[in-house]
């Protein structure tokens, strides 16, 4: 009977639940107690509490909001130039941070891998680490949450909140014991890793930069700022979109702008070279084709960022939409231009969308 009351409440008062906090006045007292009994508030020492209710619950976009696993132990591997292939296992303790090979005079890049993918198989992310270290300008920290990012997806999302909190804790320790500033950190994440970046940033005042590589769409569409990446999470938030859509058949990334600067590549939905030949005519075969195409489109963003480090310069043009960009209304002569990727820089007090077209293989930049 309690569950029936809960589902009646969420159907009738779904609009109230989509607000940042549940409005007591919007829900009758008898049902309010039942609803609060279903949602959980899981508290973890040194990290705070993780509430499963609104805005993390939404009857349409986030119908299953779970508490995170117990005992999550995110792994952090520190690399400093020139030893790109020799990592130091960092722990969120004073002793580990003080005794590490972290180089205080360098900025720090933190890389977060996506849902399902294990860090050891995130080959392009590993190549990004290598290219960053070759510049000699950065420490690189790889975040390994491979044990906690497996299906079901809602559970991985819940676990990701703790991963974000633990990553923020590590940054705070580095700031405290190594004398570096929050501004010197740049957190980069792909897909669900991109959304985790937002949970890192909300805990670190004045964090330098976040780059979201096609941040995950499912469970984050139409979300409050508290649950997704947004411009307040760092001094500069740049986002690259390659596979945006409103559902998993349309795209795996979030389509709406969520950063200071949002870069839409080839329109931000489909990428050249990702077309899969399908001779089937059934609805099932078409759906399978869509899933494979989306995977290709969604992964492309990591290769684009890799190219942007040392191989390519992506000149993106500010424009209202892709149609206007394609028609030439926003050409380079009368519109603002910005580099996309590694070399992107914030334009002060400015939030907008940028568009760029690419080749179908590396080097992806149009010469």
Please state, in angstroms and rounded to a whole number, the distance separating the CA atoms of residues 251 and 262: 17
As to burial, measured by CB atoms within 10 angstroms (0-12 exposed, 13-18 middle, 19+ buried), residue 215 is buried
Phi, psi (degrees; rounded to nearest 5) at 230: -155, 165
> Strands, DSSP E only, in 266-326?
314-318
Would you state the torsion angle of the CA atoms of residues 159, 165, 168, 173, taken in this order, to the nearest 10 degrees? -110
Please state, in angstroms and rounded to a whole number, the distance separating the CA atoms of residues 177 and 172: 9
The DSSP output letter for 111 is: E
Please state, in angstroms and rounded to a whole number, the distance separating the CA atoms of residues 201 and 229: 9
Active site residues: 191, 214, 298
Q: Encoding tokens for residue 181?
A: 């500033």
> Strands, DSSP E only, in the chain?
41-44, 48-51, 75-79, 88-90, 107-112, 138-144, 185-190, 209-213, 236-241, 261-265, 314-318, 337-340, 352-356
Please state, in angstroms and rounded to a whole number, the distance separating the CA atoms of residues 17 and 9: 10
Tally Cβ neighbours within 10 Å of residue 295.
14
| CA–CA distances in Å: residue 277 to residues 100, 243, 248, 293 | 50, 19, 20, 10
The DSSP output letter for 346 is: P
Please state, in angstroms and rounded to a whole number, the distance separating the CA atoms of residues 145 and 156: 10
Please state, in angstroms and rounded to a whole number, the distance separating the CA atoms of residues 220 and 231: 15
Do β-strands 185-190 and 261-265 pair in parallel, antiparallel, or remain unpaired?
A: unpaired
Do β-strands 352-356 and 107-112 pair in parallel, antiparallel, or remain unpaired?
A: unpaired
């Amino acid at each position: 009977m309690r569950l029936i009351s809960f589902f009646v409440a969420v159907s009738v008062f779904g609009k109230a639940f989509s607000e940042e906090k549940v409005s007591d006045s919007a829900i009758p007292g008898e049902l309010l107690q039942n609803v609060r009994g279903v949602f959980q508030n899981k508290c973890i020492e040194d990290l705070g509490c993780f509430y499963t209710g609104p805005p993390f619950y939404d009857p349409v976009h986030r119908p299953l909001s779970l508490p995170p696993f117990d005992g999550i132990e995110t792994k952090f591997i520190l690399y400093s130039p020139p030893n790109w292939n020799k990592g130091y296992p960092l722990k969120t303790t004073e002793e580990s941070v003080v005794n590490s090979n972290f180089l205080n005079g360098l900025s720090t890049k933190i890389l977060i891998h996506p849902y399902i993918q294990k860090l050891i198989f995130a080959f392009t992310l590993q190549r990004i680490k290598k290219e960053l270290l070759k510049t000699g300008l950065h420490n690189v920290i790889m975040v390994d949450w491979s044990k906690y990012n497996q299906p079901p997806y809602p559970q991985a999302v819940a676990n990701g909140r703790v991963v974000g909190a633990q990553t923020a804790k590590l940054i705070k320790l580095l700031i405290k014991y190594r004398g570096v500033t929050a501004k010197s950190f740049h957190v980069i994440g792909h897909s669900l890793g991109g959304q985790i970046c937002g949970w890192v940033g909300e805990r670190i005042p004045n964090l330098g930069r976040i780059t979201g590589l096609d941040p995950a769409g499912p469970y984050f569409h139409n979300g409050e700022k508290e649950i997704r990446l947004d411009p307040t999470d760092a001094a500069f938030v740049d986002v690259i979109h390659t596979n945006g859509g409103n559902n998993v058949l349309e795209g795996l990334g979030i389509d709406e702008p969520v950063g200071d600067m949002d870069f839409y590549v080839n329109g931000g939905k489909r990428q050249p070279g990702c077309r899969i030949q399908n001779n089937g005519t059934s609805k099932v075969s078409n759906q399978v084709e869509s899933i494979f195409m989306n995977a290709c489109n969604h992964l492309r963003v990591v290769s684009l960022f890799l190219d942007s480090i040392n191989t390519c310069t992506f000149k993106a043009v500010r424009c209202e939409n892709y149609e206007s960009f394609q028609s030439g209304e926003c050409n380079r002569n009368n519109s603002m231009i910005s580099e996309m990727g590694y070399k992107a820089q914030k334009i002060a007090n400015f939030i907008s969308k940028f568009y760029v077209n690419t080749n179908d293989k590396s080097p992806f930049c149009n010469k």
